Structure 1
Amino acid sequence: MRLLTAVGLATLLAMVTAPATRAETGGPRLPVPWTTLAGLHANLVTPGAPPPGANDWSCEPSARHPNPVILLHGGGSNQTSAWQTFAPLLANNGYCVFSLTYGVPFAPLPGGLLPMERSARELSLFVDEVLRRTGAAKVDLLGHSEGTLMPSYYVRFLGGGPKVDKYVSLSPLWRGTTQVVVSTLYQLAEALGLSRLWDWLVGIVCGACNQFLRGSVFLSRLHARGIFDPTISYTNIMTRYDQAVIPYTSGIGHGPNVHNIVLQDECLLDFSDHGGLLANHNAAGHVLAALDPVHAEPVGCVLSTPVGSLFPPG
């Protein structure tokens, strides 16, 4: 049975993997799997390892793509499971790609669990290291879920603004989430003077979890400062079928430097959910356009499901 399962998984991965040329770098092309199953498989085989195409510290940014791209996973995830699609895709398109697993309280827990202020300090150190090793002046950020919100603290409170050029978000939650009415319970605990007890109980396992909730102290402080840095170009990519960011419109931002994209507004064949955006061909087209608007190509419409995109163009 295990052998049949492994064979079936390998076959499925082969069906939804589209090779792509390694633009500009001249290096070998990397396969790009358009399924989230690739992340699950990689995390079993090489847990915690950087995804293909990421963390090549000898990579020299090109004139066309002078900014290294840093990939930031969501809560309860890591760099291995999150970026099996986007890391090789970006590397094939000539970017220097870097990723890290942040916010790990202790092994073997996944990342994104520590309070986001602490994770933002980890990001700050990582950005400085990427800039030092590559000689670049700025980086671009590509995040998913918590990886869209946590970097905003780095930008707005830890001096990251001058070091970031483009900030691209998959399933952002700028106004938090009301998932399973947890945020309402959090607000009730505050009204009853029990917020410290609530924070302590939840924080034992996940210090960042309360911070996602609509009305949290973390979000209130961030909004008081201002979510968006006026010197950075922001792109927010959302799906109407997001089951973690509720409502999905929490990811909509406002400002002259903010561009919002709801995938189903442009592609009725897109049924991707929160996690599905990590292997979504339609979202990938918007990411590439956001990172390189001068050379942006038209974004197509590919049938996409919660586990990835089916039959993406080669």
Structure 2
Amino acid sequence: MGAPLRRLGALGAAIGIVLGLGVLGIGLGAPAQAAEVPEQEPTGPPQPNIVTALTYSGARPTVMPPHTNDWGCEPSPEHPNPVLLSNGTLVNSYADWAGLSGTLADAGYCVFSVNLGGAKGSPVQTVGPVADTATQLAEFGDRVLAATGADRLDVVGHSQGGMNPRYWIKHLGGEQKIDRLIGLAPSNYGTDLFGLLSLVQRVPPLRDLIGIPFPAFNDQEKNSAFLAELNAGGDTVPGVDYTVIQTKYDEVVTPYTNAFLAPAPNVENILLQDVCPADKTDHLGITYDPIAAQLVLNALDPSSAEPPRCRFVPPLLS
């Protein structure tokens, strides 16, 4: 029980940071805003981890990850698909992607990102109903395709952001627009959060209390009606390549195997510790993990894949 309790403590600390920033921001309960594409969006500096990124974006809630949203970017013949970054529950785009966005841009990709599913101007995002957030993501994806002239795009998503594009694929024509979906610790089959979230669902007043500011929490409980519908009839479609990159030290998607998709010819499920046993990254830190970053690059361009250099990667919060 020691390790799960420590991980829950780390999760609680991170959620405390996020909620604290939300109180300082505009709030959590306002309706989710539709995706907007201003002429020029401010971008921030690269960050070494999600804690520094959260702190930076808390005072600058509209900042975008470095090297994103260059609307004049022309995809190269080597990388014809723009990459759309899709962030996880509670965090904003900058917090999740202020490390990986630069890695992708340096590799020659046109990279795009957006805050969705939260009150406009709040550092707390991706908390609205998952279907609504996915719909907004699809709308933003259409703008990316129109701006770049690309036929299809690739999506790299974290947590809910690795799962909700599947709603886009299943219900909003995404199978014609998404070439690759790469999920970092995605909540494909939801979570029981060490039993706590599932327990809450059995107490309607608590469930409803959480559902007012955070509908996405209830949607991602492993037995939710949303996930049952999303996964009904098969959780993948032909024509889209799916990659899941997961850590066994995940303290949010529990059990961690709920991240994985059903085996199929177009599915690759990767456990980080099978690639490198020394990698101890957790759910919150996986977007800043250099081993996971190399696996993302490999999934985006298998023809140039390189084995990650195995090294010790500590858990972000312990």
Name the TM-score, length of structure 2 as normaliser.
Answer: 0.81
Q: Deviations over 1:134-176 (max 9, x none)?
A: 0000000000001011111111011111100010000012211
Map 1:165-244 to 2 at 5 A. 165-185=179-199, 188-189=202-203, 194=204, 199-244=207-252
- Bigger shift: 98-107 or 284-293? 98-107
Residue number in structure 1 paired with 2:138: 124
Residues 32, 89 of structure 1: 8 Å contact kept: no
How much identity, in percent, do the aligned residues show? 39
Q: Deviations over 1:259-286 (max 9, x none)?
A: 0111111212111110110110000110
Task: Indicate the structure (1 or 2) with the bigger Cα radius of gyration.
Answer: 1
SS at match of 2:195: helix
Check 1:301–1:32 CA distance in 2 against 1; reply closer, same or farther (3 A cut).
farther
Cα RMSD (Å) of the superposition?
1.9
Residue number in structure 2 paired with 1:301: 310
Residue number in structure 2 paired with 1:96: 110
Q: Deviations over 1:258-313 (max 9, x none)?
A: 001111112121111101101100001100000000111122112212239xxxxx
Residues 62, 121 of structure 2: 8 Å contact kept: no
Query: 1:97 Cα deviation (Å)?
Result: 0.0
Contiguous gaps of at least 5 residues in structure 2: 1-43
Residue number in structure 2 paired with 1:4: none
Query: 1:187 Cα deviation (Å)?
Result: 5.5
SS at match of 2:216: coil
CA distance in 2, matches of 1:89, 1:290: 14
SS at match of 1:179: coil
Counterpart residue identity of residue 143, structure 2? E
CA distance in 2, matches of 1:121, 1:139: 16
Residues 190, 220 of structure 2: 8 Å contact kept: yes
- Bigger shift: 52-61 or 180-189? 180-189
Residues 281, 302 of structure 1: 8 Å contact kept: no
Q: How many residues align?
A: 273
Counterpart residue identity of residue 221, structure 1? E
CA distance in 1, matches of 2:53, 2:242: 26
Aligned with 1:271 (options 254, 274, 280): 280
- Bigger shift: 99-108 or 73-82? 99-108
Q: Deviations over 1:218-240 (max 9, x none)?
A: 01001114321221001100001
Please tell me whether residue 115 in structure 1 is matched to residue 101 in structure 2.
no
